[in-house]
């Protein structure tokens, strides 16, 4: 198995399906590796999967969801090692469990949306940051239910992903306004809540998300506005950062930047860490959680 072949499978999924997240694309890629790259032992299969995960982390895509999703996937399917006597049977069970895991992931977003829907009410104003697929779906579902609400969307420098979020909301008939990232404090006093996605949820109950989320959380706390996070459970990660410097560099920078040898202090990080202090509730496919409950749920996911 070649690194370039895995990367092509992964990137092709992302190119052809705009609505798929990097984490889901990564898991589909691992399933493809199991199906198409035949090996003779469990050890070889494990090695192939680990090499595939490493290859995807070097594709200039956000690493947070890839890392947590693949770790949970590997944990879920490798229970099969204890259940069988032959490798062929083991491989088939791993593949079956992999598809079960993927199907669960594909249903997760709609479950998150269902959990959050009662909080989007008629007449409310919402501030959101960057472009989150699950937040977008929640807002579109609320609009379909004839709820009337106002959304402020940050442009989200440096990639300006909020512009696409704003465009999609307006196209669906939602009253949305695009604002500068620097205006989030100014707008905060006008909104009823903050509703954001997450690239990863840490063991502490904090989140790793697009750069600027930490500032958003601080402004919301100061003005006593609730911060709601919408995130699928496959984004739960067994890391416990204490501050921004504690975040792994592979999470904060693109792989091309890390390989370039540039001084990272001169580079723009892609994400920041928002501690649980700034988060009111997390809406997930395993239920509505307070930040303090995340650690217990992580234990259940890895049992």
For 125, 151, 242, the CA distances from 70, given in Å and listed in that order, are 36, 33, 23
Radius of gyration of the chain (CA): 20
pLDDT for 261: 74
Edge-to-edge, what's the strand order for the sheet holding 207-210? 200-201, 207-210, 271-274
> 296: burial class by Cβ within 10 Å (0-12, 13-18, 19+)?
exposed
For 7, 24, 53, 74, 263, the CA distances from 20, given in Å and listed in that order, are 16, 7, 17, 20, 32
Mean pLDDT of 264-290: 91
pLDDT for 82: 54
Mean pLDDT of 282-291: 94
Phi, psi of 172 (to 5 degrees): -90, 5
Between 153 and 17, the more confident residue is: 153
Percent of the chain with pLDDT over 70: 97
For 86, 176, 252, 274, 284, the CA distances from 215, given in Å and listed in that order, are 53, 21, 16, 8, 23
Distance CA 231, CA 216 (A): 17
pLDDT at residue 11 above 80?
A: yes
pLDDT for 220: 97
Distance CA 74, CA 72 (A): 5
Average pLDDT, the chain: 89
Lowest mean pLDDT among 13-22, 80-89, 141-150: 80-89
pLDDT at residue 83 above 70?
A: no
Mean pLDDT of 178-206: 95
Domains of the chain: 3-108 (1.20.120.420), 112-302 (3.40.50.10470)
pLDDT at residue 6 above 60?
A: yes
pLDDT for 92: 82
- Alpha carbon 110 to its chain's center: 14
Provide the whole-model pTM: 0.89
Residue with token string 């501030």: 127
Between 253 and 11, the more confident residue is: 11
Pick the closest to residue 92 from 103, 81, 105 (CA basis).
81
pLDDT in tens, 250-263: 888 877 777 777 77
């Amino acid at each position: 198995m070649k690194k370039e072949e895995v990367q092509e499978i992964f990137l092709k999924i992302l190119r052809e399906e705009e609505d798929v997240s990097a984490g889901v694309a990564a898991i589909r890629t691992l399933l493809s590796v199991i199906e198409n790259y035949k090996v003779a032992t469990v050890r070889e299969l494990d090695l192939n999967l680990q090499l595939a995960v490493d290859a995807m982390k070097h594709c200039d895509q956000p690493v947070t969801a890839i890392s947590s999703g693949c770790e949970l996937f590997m944990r879920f399917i490798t229970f099969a090692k204890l259940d069988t006597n032959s490798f062929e049977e083991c491989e088939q069970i791993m593949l079956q469990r992999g598809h079960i895991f993927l199907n669960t992931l594909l249903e997760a977003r709609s479950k998150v949306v269902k959990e959050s829907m009662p909080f989007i009410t008629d007449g409310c104003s919402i501030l959101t940051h960057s472009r989150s697929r699950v937040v977008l779906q929640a807002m579109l579902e609320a609009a379909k239910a004839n709820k009337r609400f106002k959304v402020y969307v940050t442009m989200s420098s440096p990639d300006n992903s909020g512009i696409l979020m704003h465009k999609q909301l307006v196209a669906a008939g939602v009253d949305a306004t695009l604002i500068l990232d620097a205006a989030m404090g100014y707008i905060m006093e006008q909104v009823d809540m903050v509703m954001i996605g997450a690239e990863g949820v840490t063991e502490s109950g904090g989140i790793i998300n697009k750069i600027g989320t930490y500032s958003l959380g601080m402004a919301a706390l100061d003005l006593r506005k609730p911060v709601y996070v919408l995130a699928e459970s496959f984004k739960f990660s067994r890391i416990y950062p204490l501050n921004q410097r504690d975040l792994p560099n592979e999470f904060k920078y693109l792989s091309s930047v890390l390989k370039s040898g540039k001084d990272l202090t001169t580079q723009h990080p892609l994400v920041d860490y928002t501690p649980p202090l700034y988060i009111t509730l997390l809406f997930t496919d395993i239920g509505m959680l307070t930040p303090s409950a995340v650690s217990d749920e992580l234990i259940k996911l890895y049992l």
